Amino acid sequence: MSHHIIQVNNLKYSYPGGRQALNGVNFQILHGESVGIVGANGAGKSTLLMHLVGVLFPDEGEIAVGEVPVIKKTLPLIRQSVGMVFQDPDDQLFMTTVYDDVAFGPRNYKLPEEEVEKRVRSALETVGILHLMDRLSYKLSGGEKRAAAIATVLAMKPDILVMDEPSSSLDPKSRRRLISLLRCFTHTKIIASHDLDMVLELCERTIIIQDGKVIIDGPTGEILANEELMEKCGLEMPLCLQGCPVCGTKKAK
Amino acid sequence: MSNMMTSLYNIRILDELAEKRTVIHNIHPLMKVLTTCLYLIVIVSFNKYELSGLLPLVFYPIIVIALADLPLVPLLKRMLIVLPLIIGIGLFNPLFDRSPMVVLPWIQLSGGWISFLAILLKGVLTILAALVLIATTGMTRIAAVLGMLRVPRIFILQLLLTYRYISVLIEEVGRTVRAYALRSRREKGVSFSDWGSLTGHLLLRTMERAQRVYHSMCCRGFAGEYHAGNTSKIRIEDILYFTGWGLYFVLVRFFNIPTAIGSLITGVVK
Amino acid sequence: MHMADALISPVVGGAMWAVTAGVAAYSVKKVQNDLDEQKIPLMGVMGAFVFAAQMINFSIPATGSSGHLGGGLILAILLGPYAGFLTMASILTIQALFFADGGLLALGCNIFNLGFYSCFIAYPLIYKLIMRKGYSMGRIFTGAMLAAIIGLQLGAFSVVLETLFSGKTELPFSTFILLMQPIHLAIGVVEGLVTAAVIGFVWQARPEIIEKAALGEVLGRISIKKVLAGLAIVAMITGGIFSWFASANPDGLEWSMFNTSGKEELEAPGGIHQTLTAIQEKMAFLPDYSFKNQQETNTNAVETKGTWPAVDAGTSVSGLVGGVMTLMLAGMTGFCIYMIKRRHKISDV
């Protein structure tokens, strides 16, 4: 069942100010893949993600999820199958309590309240914060907020998870917990991040974007280990592939 | 700067109190709101000279605070901040109304002082009533009550969003003001030349955030309508709570209990 | 200045609640018809912004003191009058609940005083009028300044009226006016300066934000707005007059008159209307200023023949004794509950 789940063709987009953010992006992502999207600041990662969930629409080119093109008319459908985790959980947790936040999506699809509760519970259980259900969102710690934000998306039962910088501003322990959590998801995952070590751990495939174009698309291990390429794209090899700062020996992965 | 931290702290502590589970917290929020409304209406309906009649209303906050396990200090602190405004206006009463009112064998108070004391007492009671309501109910359940009262959903959603982002934005504004203070000369506050740029930048950032919040709402199927969950059912206890207090308030309103007790005692003494 | 519960009468509080609820219901309808769902999160987040920005100290040149932002006018300029009014309403609601600023009964007054004038009078009739010929820094400055000052002057004036109609203070009208208006002139100047500075900055940085916000309004035809503003003023004045009547002669007739007029003003959809009628009904069986009638029903009082305020030692003594008793009893009740609860807790452990 290895059908094309996301198809991006010659995507072009420029912001109202005139800046060309995407300049002909092409790729396909298959069912169950997890793909890291990597690039320097301003390379166009976030803009690309916004197109995948239909927050922005391309000036040129098209996107299809499954067989469905991402256009205004299909948005309700698209948003049920593609879930997006935003970079700042404070933007995603806009309701007062964790429960209401996670229930917001299912309620918008007018599910009966029992089904909503079932989904909320199972989503919170998956991310391991069921005990925070009635907590006020603003009182959560950074790691808890991130988990809650992921739960809000899981409650929509998406096939594809799109994440923008999921590990940003997390302490090492919360980051580790997030990585193990994401690893056990069977969804198709698209992760845009500067945390290359995490990309290396989670994604078998990586796409590097620079100036709104795909520079390279291939196996993560090869790409991230290519020092010259990484340098050229304003990036740096993942720490775990770099030499040991004390003795200089290379770690074997 | 410090006032931002205080108000953040103030909201936080009331939210924490609202998470308790006591008899009062478990009363249906609608009944609590109605009781509070009735209480406030009864308080302000008292004539400006009716000091003694008001006194039995003291029972309500005392009993509710005790039953709900609320700490007194934060409530009183808040009151100390708000009361001076009321005192400021009320203090004119003794100034303008000098007709003698209470004549005891040893003391004579002008009507102005009586009405001032009544205003003061009303101030204390109304402030306590509002704080007690939020401290035992919390914003989420207040919003649910508004829903039950058929307040338009758009307003409720907007109210909840404002409430949710107060802490986020106070922190953001606080960071900006702190960064500003660290680089400005010793004067306190934001100097005139920077009013626009500092506040304007914050405003633009806020609008960007609103945009992101909107996007994240859209991604979860928001289409201009807000759907709240089911609200809990009203039990008999809840109705009893409301009617009990209601009857008491009405009784207090129509019978001056302290005068009755007092005349009973003075009668016995005689 | 926020009106406080302690200073208002139920009639004034109720009348202002009714008027405010009516304006709010109309605004909700307008915002809903706007079909710009993006505005809802914008309103929410902007409300929080104004809430936070109110705490910034703006130091005023050459005075050594500092001023604060109110925010009503900024909200009207950025969101339009309807959304601005609703946003101001939620800010004030949160302040009334969490900070006991103002109070819940006085909330209607406060929303009206701080929201209505800036959003429905100062913004459309002054600011918009000045911007009609296009935007410039000078016009933004003049417009924001005049609108803020006039909006706050009107608000202060209505605080004075509401307080006097409530009859809880002895402050004579002229003294109160002389006290309130100049203070609010100063507050208005600061508000105008901050608003002008912020709007001017945003206009230079992102002109489309300021111009687009106003654009939606122009299409909405000004005549309707004028009619609305006129209606609301009439509603306020009638509310005021009726409450004055009610406080002057508290017999049933005026009360029922007030009730019906309250209903007419309120063509709000369903919910608010019912709630307010419910509140009004409650007020109706608790008539204000009825102490004289009360003295008659109060059979327990000791020989109270003179009308209040009467100099009567007997009543005063028993009032004092009874009052002290009541307070002691209340204190003891609270203490007992605490003790019982504590014992329960200990035994639970």
Q: Is C193 helix (H, G, I), strand (E, B) or coil?
A: helix
How many CB pairs (< 8 A) connect A and B?
A: 79
CA atoms within 13 A on the CB side of C138: 1
ipTM over 0.90: yes
Query: If you measure CA to CA, which chain B residue comes closest to A52?
Result: B219
Residue B228 lies in a domain: no
Same domain, B191 and B248: no
Asked if B220 lies within 8 A of A152 by C-beta distance, the reply is yes
- Model pTM greater than 0.80? yes
Q: What is residue C234's predicted lDDT score, i.e. its pLDDT? A: 58
Q: How far is A235 from chain B (nearest CA, A)?
A: 27
Name the minimum distance, in Å, from the CA of A251 to any CA of chain B. Answer: 40
Q: Which residues contact A233 (CB under 8 A, 6 or more apart)?
A: A38, A39, A40, A43, A208, A210, A215
C14, C15, C21, C23 alpha-carbon torsion, rounded to 10°: -160
CB contact under 8 A, C279 and B99: no
Cβ of residue C291 closer than 8 Å to a chain B Cβ = yes
Q: What H or E segment, with its residue span, contains residue C326?
A: helix C313-348
| Domain identity same for B131 and B246 | yes
Q: Are C120 and C256 in contact (CB under 8 A)?
A: no
pLDDT in tens, chain B (270 residues): 567 888 888 888 899 899 888 999 999 999 999 999 999 999 999 888 888 889 999 999 999 999 999 998 888 888 888 888 888 888 888 888 888 776 666 777 788 888 899 999 999 999 999 999 999 999 999 999 999 999 998 999 999 999 999 999 999 999 998 888 888 876 678 888 888 899 999 999 999 999 999 999 999 988 878 888 777 889 999 999 999 999 999 999 888 888 888 888 888 776
Q: DSSP secondary-structure letter at C46? A: H
* Biggest alpha carbon–alpha carbon distance for chain A: 61
Cα–Cα dist C246/C160, whole Å:
18
Residue C256: pLDDT band by 50, 70, 90 thresholds?
very low
Inter-chain CB proximity B199 and C197 less than 8 Å: yes
Q: List C-alpha distances in Å: A240 to A152, A196, A220, A253.
A: 32, 9, 13, 8
Alpha-carbon span B54 to C324, nearest angstrom: 12
Chain B CB contacts of C247 below 8 Å: none
- C314 versus B27: the higher-pLDDT residue is B27
| Window C:310-349, CB contacts with B under 8 Å | 311-323, 325-327, 329-331, 333-335, 337-338, 341
Which residues of chain B from 98 to 157 reach within 8 Å of chain A, CB to CB? 139-140, 143
List pLDDT tens digits, range C49-68: 999 999 888 888 777 778 88
- β partners of residue A6: A29, A65
Residue numbers of the domain that contains B144: 14-151+233-259
In this model, does residue A189 exceed pLDDT 60? yes
Cβ of B163 and A96 within 8 Å? yes
Q: Does C277 touch chain B (CB under 8 A)?
A: no
Q: Which chains, if any, share at least 3 CB pairs under 8 A with chain A?
A: B
Measured between beta carbons, the chain A residues lying within 8 angstroms of B168 are 90, 138
Of B222, B226, B260, the CB nearest to C322: B260
- Please report the pLDDT score of residue B105 as a whole number: 67
Residues B123 and B162 in one domain: no
Instruction: Select from B87, B88, B93 the least CA-distant residue to B124.
Output: B87
Return the CATH architecture of domain C5-294+315-348.
Orthogonal Bundle (1.10)
Largest distance between two CA atoms of chain B = 79
Q: How far is A204 from chain B (nearest CA, A)?
A: 26
Best CA proximity match to C44, nearest among B7, A95, A56 = A95
With tokens 């070590």, the residue in question is A197
Does B95 share its domain with B162? no
Mean pLDDT of A153-182: 92
Tell me the nearest-neighbour CA distance from C133 into chain B, angstroms: 23
Domain annotation covers residue B270: no
Name which of B7, B36, B64, B166 is nearest C107 in CA terms: B36
Tell me: do B112 and B238 sit in the same domain.
yes
Smallest CA-to-CA distance from B108 within C307, C349, C317 is with C317
* CA distance linking residue C43 with residue B217, whole number of Å: 14
Spatial distance between the Cα atoms of B47 and B40, rounded to a whole number of angstroms? 14
Q: Are residues B241 and B110 in the same domain?
A: yes
Q: What angle do CA A18, A20, A26 make, to 5 degrees?
A: 150
Residue B118 placed within a domain: yes
**Would you call C247 an interface residue with chain B, using a CB distance cutoff of 8 Å?**
no
Phi, psi values for residue B44, rounded to 5°? -75, -15
Taking CB atoms and an 8 Å cutoff, what residues of chain B touch A50?
215
Could you tell me which residues are beta bridge partners of residue C329? none
Contact B213 A113 (CB under 8 A): no
Q: How far apart are CA C286 and CA B249, in angstroms?
A: 10
CB contact under 8 A, B221 and A79: yes
Greater pLDDT, C338 or C253: C338
**CB environment B21-51: b (16+ within 10 A), e (fewer):** ebebbebbbbbbbbbbbbbbbbbbbbbbbbb
Beta strand extents in chain B (DSSP E only) = 100-103, 108-110
Neighbour tally for C248: CB within 10 Å: 10
Cα dihedral B150/B153/B154/B157 (nearest 10): 120
A63 torsion bin: left (phi>0), alpha (psi -120 to 50), beta (else): beta
- Decide if B72 is inside a domain: yes
Q: B49 and B107, same structural domain?
A: yes
Lookup: tokens for B40: 């406030």
* Whether C218 contacts chain B with CB within 8 A: no
Q: Is A17 helix (H, G, I), strand (E, B) or coil?
A: coil
Instruction: Test B4 with C13 for CB contact under 8 angstroms.
Output: no
Using a CB-CB cut-off of 8 Å, the residues of chain B touching A121 are none
Residues B212, A91: C-beta atoms closer than 8 Å? yes
Rounded CA separation B190/B181 (Å): 8
DSSP A96: S
Segment B27-84, tens digit of pLDDT = 999 999 999 999 999 999 988 888 888 999 999 999 999 999 999 888 888 888 888 8
- Quote the percentage of chain A above a pLDDT of 70: 96
The residue in chain B having the minimum alpha-carbon distance to the alpha carbon of residue C289 is B47
pLDDT, average across residues A222-246? 85
Render pLDDT for B92-111 as a digit per residue (tens, 0 to 9).
888 888 887 766 667 777 88
Residues 75-114 on A with a CB inside 8 Å of B are: 75-76, 79-80, 83-84, 86, 88, 90-97, 100, 103-105, 107-110, 113
Residue-wise pLDDT tens digits, C194-235: 999 999 999 998 888 888 776 554 434 444 455 556 656 655
C266 has pLDDT over 60: no
Distance, CA of A219 to CA of A213 (rounded, Å) = 18
**CA nearest neighbour of C113 among C24, C193, C194, C20:** C20
Residue C296 CA: distances (Å) to CA of A72, B243, B267, C291? 72, 26, 20, 9
Residue B180 is encoded by which pair of tokens? Answer: 């500003």
**B219 with A79: Cβ contact below 8 A:** yes
Question: What's residue A33's pLDDT?
Answer: 92
Question: What SS3 class is residue B234?
Answer: coil
Phi-psi bin for C28: left (phi > 0), alpha (psi -120 to 50), beta? alpha
Max distance between CA atoms of chain C, in angstroms, equals 76
- The packing angle between helices C72-79 and C137-166, to 10°, is 130
Residue of B nearest to A46 (CA): B212
Distances (CA, A) of C273 to A104, A229, B41, C16, C266: 28, 68, 18, 14, 6
Which three-class secondary structure state does DSSP give residue A62? Answer: strand
Task: Indicate if the pLDDT at residue C239 is higher than 70.
Answer: no
Per-residue pLDDT at C39 exceeds 70: yes
Quote the CA–CA distance of B57 and A26 in Å, as a whole number. Answer: 73
3-state DSSP call for residue B270? coil
Q: Which of A92, A103, A113 sits opposite B216 (nearest CB)?
A: A92
- Residue B269, in any domain of the structure: no
Hey, what amino acid is at B32?
K
Question: Is there a domain that residue B5 lies in?
Answer: no
Two tokens at A165? 């910088």
End-to-end CA distance of chain A: 31
Co-location of B188 and B239 in the same domain:
no
Is B2 within the bounds of a domain? no
Residues 133-172 of A with CB under 8 A from B: 134, 136-139, 152-153, 156
DSSP state of B103: E
C255 alpha carbon, distance to own chain's centre: 23
For residues C305-313, average pLDDT:
43
Distance CA C193, CA B193 (A): 11
Of the candidates B65, B202, B260, which has its C-beta nearest C300's C-beta? B260
What is the length of chain B? 270
Mean pLDDT within A25-53: 92
CB contact under 8 Å between B262 and C325, yes or no, is yes
B42 shares a domain with B18: yes
- Cα–Cα distance between B141 and B144 in angstroms, integer? 5
Please give the torsion angle defined by the CA atoms of residues C190, C192, C193 and C195, in that order, rounded to the nearest 10 degrees. 120
pLDDT at residue C333, as a whole number: 83
Task: Please indicate, yes or no, whether residues B124 and B237 belong to a single structural domain of this protein.
Answer: yes
Q: Is C241 in CB contact (< 8 Å) with chain B?
A: no
The Cα B56–Cα C326 span in angstroms is: 6
Residues B175 and B246 placed together within one structural domain of the fold: no
CA distance C305 to chain B (A): 15
Going by the DSSP 8-state scheme, the letter that residue B169 receives in this structure is H
Radius of gyration of chain A (CA): 19
Q: Give the C-alpha separation, A122 to A111, whole Å.
A: 15
> Do B64 and B168 have their domain in common?
no
Counted domains in chain B: 2
Question: Which residues in chain B are contacts of A93 at CB distance < 8 A?
Answer: 164
Let me know if A30 is exposed, middle or buried by CB neighbors in 10 A (0-12, 13-18, 19+): middle
- What span, in angstroms and rounded, lies between the C-alpha atoms of C119 and C82? 7
pLDDT for C188 beyond 80: yes
| Residues ≥6 apart with Cβ < 8 Å to C110 | C2, C3, C92, C96, C102
Residues of B whose CB is below 8 A from A95: 160, 164
Do the domain assignments include residue B145? yes
Q: Name which of B50, B89, B261 is nearest C169 (Cβ-Cβ).
A: B89
CB contact under 8 A, A104 and B164: no
A118-127, B235-244, C155-164, C236-245: lowest mean pLDDT where? C236-245
Do the Cβ atoms of A84 and B223 come within 8 Å?
no
Q: CA–CA separation, A63 vs A9, rounded Å? A: 6
Q: Which of residues 146-205 of B touch A (CB under 8 A)?
A: 160-161, 163-165, 167-168
